Amino acid sequence: MTTVRVWSVTTTTPTEAEAKSLARALVAEKLAASAEIAGPSTSVFWHLNELGEGLEWRVTFRTSDRVRDRLAARVSVLHQWESPEVTAARVEWCVDSYAAWVDRVTTDSP
């Protein structure tokens, strides 16, 4: 892989519509080269001093080092939850052409 580092940034949403809205917005803003939506899945969590359970949709964005933190901040602004999950993991390996594409797309961000 080149020196470009690719990241997977993940969040979850309560609806498929919100997942698609976040995906479209962040890819259109070129904070992510792509977004993958999966779901629904069942989530069990602790919230407001009680056990909760519900369906969620996972959105995984592919982005570069350069805009990873801006993408995470934008998810927090656009998301309907006060404290949404926003996690990231470095893609340890990918083909050079993919890494270059992610870098090129996110380099063009406004």
Digit-coded pLDDT (tens) for 46-85: 988 999 999 999 999 999 999 999 999 999 999 999 999 9
Confidence band (pLDDT; 50, 70, 90) for 30? very high
**Cis peptide bond N-terminal to 14, omega within 30:** no
Domains along the chain? Answer: 6-107 (3.30.70.120)
Tell which residue, 76, 72, 104, 101, has the closest CA to residue 88: 72
Q: Of 16, 49, 52, 51, which is closest to residue 35 (Cα–Cα)?
A: 16
Asked if residue 28 has pLDDT above 50, the reply is: yes
Instruction: Taking residues 2-12, report their average pLDDT.
Output: 86
Record the pTM: 0.91
Dihedral angle of Cα 6, 97, 22, 65, to the nearest 10 degrees: 30
